[in-house]
Amino acid sequence: MTQDTAPLAGIKVIDWTQVQSGPSCTQMLAWMGAEVIKVEKVQGGDPTRNEMNDVDGSYSLYFLQLNANKKSITLNMKDPEGKKILTDLLKDADVFVENIGPGDVEKLGFGWDEVHKINPRCIMASLKGFNKGSRFEHVKAFEPVAQSAGGAASTTGWYDGEHNVPTQSGAALGDSNSGMHLLIAILSALLQRQRTGEGCYVYQSMQNAVLNLCRVKLRDQLILDRLGKLSYYDCYPNYKWGKAIPRAANAEGGLVLGWCYRAKGWETDQNAYVYIVIQQSKKGFENFCHAMGFEDWITDPRFNTANARDEHKEEVYKRVEEYTMQYDKYTLTKELGAKGVPVGPVLDWYELENDPDLNDDGTIVTIDQQDARGDFKTIGMPFTMSNFTPDYQRAPKLGENNEEILKGLGYSDDQISELLSNGVIGSNDGVKADLK
C-alpha cells in the first residue's frame, strides 16, 4: 500500500460489526488505508469465524473474505472494564461502525448521544434491518429478510408454474450491498467533517439499500398503476394483471428486449448460456439483425419496432436461440460483441474463480492467511485508482492485537494479564472445521 496516496491513511475506525453487512463496509475502509480495529466477543468472536469452516486451525472463508487488513481486539462488553476500553478507543477514533442487534448498542451505553459526548469529532455509523421509526425497527434482519422487505424477492423469479414464488437473488443485496451504501455515507460524513469540524450520525437500513437497487421496480409499479399492463415484461401480453408488478423472469427490465439463450453445450452444462440484448433504437436493432444474419426482420412489421417485438417475444426468442445454440458462449460473446451487440456469457463460479483476466487485473486477489489454510482467494477492491493499489493482507486471528492496542492505551503487561485472567479479553489461533 502506498501510504501517501491511500485515501484513508490516518483514519482510525472502531469496527463493532459482525457477519457480512458491516464487515463488508469496514473491510473497504481498511483497504483504502484506514486503521480498522475490529471489536469482537471474547468467546468465539465474530460468528462467521467458525461458520462453514473447512480447515482445522484456521477460520472460515466467510470470515476471511470480509475481514482482511483489520486488527482484532476482544472485549467483554458486559464488563465495566471492557466498556472502559471501548470508551478509550473511541476518544481518538474518526469513525465508529456498528451493526449489532437493534437497540443493543444503546443498552450497552454506546448510542449516538453517548459517543458524541465521548468524542464530538467521531462519526458514528449504524447498519440495521429497518429504518428508525419503522414498525419493523426492532426486527432482526438477515440477507433474505432484507431482500423480501426491499422489493427484490417479489420481483425475482418466474411469474407462472410451480416455481412462481418470491425468489432471492444470488447477489448479497441485503448484506454487502448495505455495507457499500453505508460506506458511501461514511465517506460523505468524513468530507462533511472537514467543513464542520464535528462528526455526525449516519444510519443505513438494509431495507433501504435493497430499495435503492430496485428503484426501477418502483418505476414499473407506477406505470402499472396508470396503464394496467407492462408491455416490456416477459409475461405480456397473455397475463392476468393484478395490482402489483409480477416477477420479471429473465427479461432485461426496460424497453430493450433482453433474454438468456442456450449456447452450444447446454445439454450437459447448465450455464452454457449467453444473455443478448436487442436494443430499442432503429440503429441498434439493425446492427443486431446484420450481426445475426436476420436482415429480413429489418422490414418485417412483426419485428422492426420495439412494440412489435414485445407482441412477438416467443418468435424472437425461438429464432435467436436457434442461432445461439450453434456456438459456444465465449465465441458468441467475442464475435457478436465485436459487431456491437450487447452480449455476455453466463459465467459460473468455477469459471470466475479461474478467470485469467480477473486474476491478472486484481479483481480476484490471493491472500496468504499464514496458518493452516495458506492461500485463499477473495474479491478485491471493486474499483481502481490510478495512483493507489491496496496492499491486501490476511485477516487477524481472534484477539491478535489485544496487547498492541491495550499498550497503546497505556495498559501495562500486568494489567493486560489481569484482563485476560478476568475474561475481559481473550484470543485463539484458529477453530475446528465444521464442514467435512
Alpha-carbon distance of 346 to 278, in angstroms, equals 17
pLDDT of residue 4: 85
What residues in the chain have per-residue pLDDT under 70? 1-3
Fold of 12-212+354-422: Rossmann fold (3.40.50)
Cis-peptide, bond into residue 390, ω within 30° of zero: no
Alpha-carbon distance of 55 to 251, in angstroms, equals 41
Return the ∠ at Cα 27 (arms to 208 and 105), rounded to 5°: 60
Q: Which three cell numbers stand for residue 126?
A: 449504524
Alpha-carbon distance of 317 to 339, in angstroms, equals 20
Domain ranges of the chain: 12-212+354-422, 257-262+272-346
Helices 21-31 and 176-196 cross at an angle (nearest 10°) of: 50
This prediction has a pTM of: 0.95
What are residue 273's DSSP bridge partners? 262
Alpha-carbon distance of 131 to 267, in angstroms, equals 47
Q: Which CATH number fits domain 257-262+272-346: 3.40.50.2000, 3.30.1360.120, 3.30.1540.10, 3.40.50.1100?
A: 3.30.1540.10
pLDDT of residue 411: 98
SS3 label, residue 16: strand
Which of the residues are catalytic?
Answer: 175
Give the type of residue at 423. Answer: G
Q: Position of cell 465444521?
A: 434
For 15-93, where are the alpha helices, taking DSSP H only?
21-31, 61-64, 80-90
pLDDT of residue 2: 52
Alpha-carbon distance of 101 to 174, in angstroms, equals 16
pLDDT of residue 253: 80
pLDDT of residue 1: 46
Question: End-to-end CA distance of the chain, in Å?
Answer: 37
**In 209-246, which positions are buried (b, 16+ CB within 10 angstroms) versus exposed (e)?**
bbbebbeebeebbeebeeeeebebbbbbeeeebeeebb
Query: Which DSSP symbol is given to 296?
Result: G
